[in-house]
Structure 1
Amino acid sequence: MNLIYEVLPEDNVDCLRESCNELMKFQQSAASIRPELFNEMSFETRLIPSIEKAIHNFIVVVKDADRIVGYVYSNISPKETYSNEFATFFDMATVRKPNVGCLSQFYIKEEYRKYGIDSKLFGMSMDWLNQFNEVNDVFIFVSNGNVDALEFYKRKGFTVSHEILGGFITVLRN
């Protein structure tokens, strides 16, 4: 195994189509609350619109040789981006600045989850997010049923803020 971490330019995200769609399928399989909401979630409906709405994007892929085995996507976006027809993800009045940081998508193929890739990608994302002085608030949204992810983020210092959509998503905050 030869893991390579590579920052991916925004115009090269098409290589994440398969991994992003695997993430959506995994989230749906783990969900006990409204799993049908994942039916419309895919690379085209989640990752691409998020990248387009963000002010800054940070994407890191992990490869074993030439095979993508994981990725993380973080962004800086106007806080209003998180109030839309799907949901309002947090109380806008509690966010002190116009922009927020978000660790938006995080996926590692199951057979690679025991090698510390999660901590490395998380650290790279937090380092990137923390460089923006215009951002005080960083959010992570965890789909219901993904207990391992929820506990991982809590161990990394994030706290549960609230749930939205009747528990479909747990909102964590720095």
Structure 2
Amino acid sequence: MDVKYEVLPDHDIELCRDLCNELMVYQKSKASITPELFDAMSFETRLIPSVQKASHNYIVIVKDGDEIVGYVYSNISPKEVYSNEFATFFDMHSVKKEMVGCLSQFYIKKEYRQYGVGSTLFNMSMNWLREHEEVEDYFIYVSNGNDDALEFYQRKGFSVSHDILGGFITVLRSKKVI
């Protein structure tokens, strides 16, 4: 295993297409609360719009040789982005600053888990988020059934804030970047 981490410019997000779609299938397979909501979620409906709405994006892919085996996507966005026709992700009044940081998507192929790849991607994202002084609230959204991800983020210092959409998503929050 010869993994390398590569930060992508926004215009290269197409490289994440397959893994983003794989993430949606994975999340649906874990979900016990309205898994059918994932049927409408894909690279086109999740990653592209998020990148377009964000003020700053940070995308890192993990390669083993030429194969992309994981990625993380984090962003800095106006807080209003998180209140839309799908859901209101947090109480807007609880966020004092105009911008929020979010670790938005995170996926590693199964055979590459447990080797520290996730911790490396998480740390890279947190370091990037820390660079943005206009942010003091950081969020991670975990789909129901993905207990491994939930526990991972809690071990990294994030706390469960609340659930939305009847438990479909658990919102984790930190007032500081770990």
Runs of 4+ more than 4 Å apart: none
CA distance in 2, matches of 1:105, 1:47: 8
Match of 2:38 in 1: 38
CA distance in 1, matches of 2:139, 2:87: 15
When normalised by structure 2's length, the TM-score is: 0.97
Match of 1:74 in 2: 74
User: Which segments of 5 or more consecutive residues in structure 1 lack a partner in the other structure?
Assistant: none
Q: Does the residue aligned with 1:97 lie in a helix, a strand or coil?
A: coil
Q: How do 1:1-174 and structure 2 match up within 5 A?
A: 1-174=1-174
1:19-50 superposed Cα distances (whole Å, 9 cap, x missing partner): 00000000000000000000000000000000
1:75-106 superposed Cα distances (whole Å, 9 cap, x missing partner): 00000000000000000000010000000000
C-alpha displacement at 1:15, in angstroms?
Answer: 1.1
1:120-139 superposed Cα distances (whole Å, 9 cap, x missing partner): 00000000001111000000
What's the C-alpha RMSD, in Å, of the aligned pairs? 0.3
When normalised by structure 1's length, the TM-score is: 1.00
Identity of aligned residues (%): 71
User: Which segments of 5 or more consecutive residues in structure 2 lack a partner in the other structure?
Assistant: none
Q: What is the letter of the counterpart of residue 132 of structure 2? A: F
Give the total of aligned pairs.
174
CA distance in 1, matches of 2:106, 2:15: 15
CA distance in 2, matches of 1:117, 1:38: 25
CA distance in 2, matches of 1:135, 1:127: 13
C-alpha displacement at 1:117, in angstroms?
Answer: 0.3
CA distance in 2, matches of 1:153, 1:15: 25
